[in-house]
Structure 1
Amino acid sequence: MLTATAPATCAPHLLALLGRSPVAFVDTPLPHPHRGFYAKVEYLSPGGMKARAAVAMLQAARLRGALRPGATVVESTSGTFGIGLAFAGQALGHPVILVVDREIERPMRALLTAYGAAVVVVEQPHPVGGWQQARLDRLHEVLACTPDGYWPDQYHNPDNAAGYGALAEELIGQVDAADVLVCSVGTGGHSAGLARALRRHWPAMRMVGVDTVGSTIFGQPARPRLMRGLGSSIFPRNVHYAAFDEVHWIGPVEAVDTCRRLARSAFVTGGWSTGAVARVAGWISRMQPDARVVTIFPDGPHRYLDSIFDDAFCTSHGLFAPAPGHPIEISHPNAVEVTRWSRCRTVVDPLHSLAVPA
């Protein structure tokens, strides 16, 4: 039976470290000059952005009685949510087992282990659902042999979105207004939670979703994806499709170019999700110079030292190719398969709209 390394004691004082991340003003050309946008730098909060959701999900489960005191938490992750769960597990006194896949970055796997999580590695992708479905299949096997094991199910748990209320309140106190909010989309939690809370304060705020090429979330076909931390090969029910005004798909070439530009000129940078939202936020700031654009940088650069910031990795994957400076526009999410930065102003739930309107 697999066991996690249980925290010696519950450490609720850690919860005082959660949140209160700074907001940076970014005017680095990405690649073109723009008026600048505001980025909430979530990796500067211990546990990162997803620690907010992890704590919220575990606390709600404890109140419902679904998570017993000291019981083990089991979850699938590509890495970032695993860090958040490791934080929540230490703070609330729960061992954590994380199901990852062999594509996870070496620094991330080392961090998860260092934070006391037990790591289960899936070696082969699912023939249809890719790594994500393979991890979920293995998760159910682990749960079956884990007494009192609890699965937060980050993809479909409504407490995921609820965990970002405090982030919204912080933003309201840090920026004068938000005309456009740019959010990466993976589980759908932080975009749904922020849209709900921020529109109570700024009702005219537009929200732009940022996905990755090869992700199914907004109706594109599932393809192997190099980018991790955003996108999905399943349909997370936490995605609030009606809240989005448009969606962009970003490819790895654009994300790498953006992350490296940010590192050289803004010092504040990150991984795939950060590069993706920064690319889009910079473009919107250029095209709509009177709009106040706000985004969230979900993660930092440290787990990507062997990938985004490694020249040999980028060369071997063709990531130094010329990066598009603007998106192409498509009329409907499944009108054409996108292979580079693309934009669509029609947003639908792909499970309820599987064909292009006549």
Structure 2
Amino acid sequence: MRPELLDLVGGTPLARVTTPLPHQHTGFWAKLECLGAGGMKARAAVSMLMAARTDGRLAPGAPVVESTSGTLGLGLAFAGQALGHPVVLVVDDELEPVMRALLTAHGARLEVVTRPHPTGGWQRARLDRLHAVLAEIPGAHWPDQYNNPANPTGYAALARELLDQLDHIDVLVCSVGTGGHSAGVAGELRRHRPDLRLIGVDAVGSTIFGQPALPRVMRGLGSSIHPRNVAYREFDEVHWLGPVEVVAACRALARDGFVSGGWSTGAVATVAAWVARVEPGAVVVTVFPDGVHRYLETIFDDGFCQARGLLGRPSDHPVEVADPAAAPLSRWSRCTTVTDPLGVPA
């Protein structure tokens, strides 16, 4: 147990981004969570484990088992060290070798799924393996990042940091996967800035906002299930991005502004830049969840991108969509009507 590590969570800097994406814009603010220990999701990981310890669901020293596409795994490895819990992570064959090595270096045990679920993809396959692993380890705890209310709670401090760093915020742009950081940050910000607009950024082929599940190359952005931490009623609009737009944005950020990241970073940067362009004068804020190192052999590798057709000409604006359930989307799209596709009342 290393509780002193908890002092390293948060306190990340805010950067002004003016890189053309692809057009000139007036600039937006980006919270650089890649510069925090354990990354952005260390906030959620610590929050979930602390809550489970408090209410007795997680015994001292008990193992923690979770499914991850990578980023939460790093946060849990951090939280496990800080709080004294061994961590078992259910990952899949498409997890980058550098991320596997990093998670292992930080003491996590990896359970690797080798075949996607026929309809639920890698995400469903990981969850199926997770339940099998839980049955094999007495006393193990599953945080359930997709539905655990302590996940969004962990991001309230991020919102308070933004309030300390900026006098005013008009628009918050958030990537959506589990729904944790969008719900947590927006909920806390609106206690102080009730007129704040929240824009969600999803991936083409993700089911979160009503699209059919399709194979996705972008890891960590979007979902093939419907996490209940997604606070649908909080969103004013949603954008879906394709990988061509995101690769172009990540590379432009790295080349022109030095600060860049992965799929979620490129997606939110694209949308934040568009908002800053069409609404000059608005104070636009987003969160860059991670940095570039994990993606050197994917987003920043020409061979990887050429083999998947990711170096084409990106869309420079979204198309307007009235009903996201009407047809599968294949390019950057935008909808200003946001509903829960499962029809669960807000």
Query: Structure 2 length as normaliser, TM-score?
Result: 0.99
CA distance in 1, matches of 2:58, 2:331: 42
CA distance in 2, matches of 1:209, 1:343: 10
Contact 1:188/1:240 (8 A) holds in 2: yes
Question: Which of 182, 190, 195 lines up with 1:199 in the alignment?
Answer: 190
> Is 1:301 matched up with 2:292?
yes
CA distance in 1, matches of 2:302, 2:166: 36
Counting only pairs closer than 5 Å after superposition, residues 210-289 of structure 1 correspond to structure 2 as: 210-289=201-280
Amino acid at match of 2:241: I
Question: Which of 108, 119, 136 lines up with 1:145 in the alignment?
Answer: 136
Other-structure match for 2:161: 170
CA distance in 1, matches of 2:331, 2:83: 42
Q: Secondary structure at the match of 1:211?
A: strand
Other-structure match for 2:23: 32
The alignment yields a C-alpha RMSD, in angstroms, of 0.7
CA distance in 2, matches of 1:181, 1:105: 30
Deviates more, 1:171-180 or 1:51-60: 171-180
Amino acid at match of 2:267: A
CA distance in 1, matches of 2:221, 2:42: 16
Counting only pairs closer than 5 Å after superposition, residues 68-107 of structure 1 correspond to structure 2 as: 68-107=59-98
Question: Which of 303, 309, 313 lines up with 1:322 in the alignment?
Answer: 313
CA distance in 2, matches of 1:138, 1:113: 19
Other-structure match for 1:63: 54
Amino acid at match of 2:312: A
Contact 1:250/1:341 (8 A) holds in 2: yes
Other-structure match for 2:179: 188
Q: Secondary structure at the match of 2:286?
A: strand
Amino acid at match of 2:5: L
Contact 1:12/1:91 (8 A) holds in 2: yes
> What do the CA deviations read for 1:19-39 (whole angstroms, capped 9, x no partner)?
000000000000000000000
CA distance in 2, matches of 1:298, 1:340: 23
Other-structure match for 1:46: 37
For structure 2, the residue ranges without an aligned partner over 5 or more in a row are none
> What do the CA deviations read for 1:90-134 (whole angstroms, capped 9, x no partner)?
000000000000011111111010110000100000111110000
Amino acid at match of 2:280: P
Contact 1:210/1:277 (8 A) holds in 2: yes
Amino acid at match of 1:81: L
> Is 1:19 matched up with 2:10?
yes
Q: Secondary structure at the match of 1:258?
A: helix
CA distance in 1, matches of 2:212, 2:179: 18
Contact 1:28/1:265 (8 A) holds in 2: yes
CA distance in 2, matches of 1:301, 1:340: 24
CA distance in 1, matches of 2:227, 2:188: 20
Amino acid at match of 1:182: V
Contact 1:330/1:336 (8 A) holds in 2: no
Q: Secondary structure at the match of 1:209?
A: strand
Other-structure match for 2:117: 126
Contact 1:69/1:93 (8 A) holds in 2: yes
CA distance in 2, matches of 1:178, 1:105: 35
Amino acid at match of 2:41: K
Other-structure match for 1:356: none
Q: Secondary structure at the match of 1:144?
A: helix
Amino acid at match of 2:220: G
For structure 1, the residue ranges without an aligned partner over 5 or more in a row are 1-9, 354-358
Amino acid at match of 1:162: T
Amino acid at match of 2:27: G
Amino acid at match of 2:196: M
Q: CA deviation at 1:335?
A: 2.2
Contact 1:208/1:245 (8 A) holds in 2: yes
Percent identity, aligned pairs only, is 67
Contact 1:184/1:210 (8 A) holds in 2: yes
Q: CA deviation at 1:336?
A: 2.2
Q: CA deviation at 1:164?
A: 0.5
* Equivalent residue pairs, number: 344
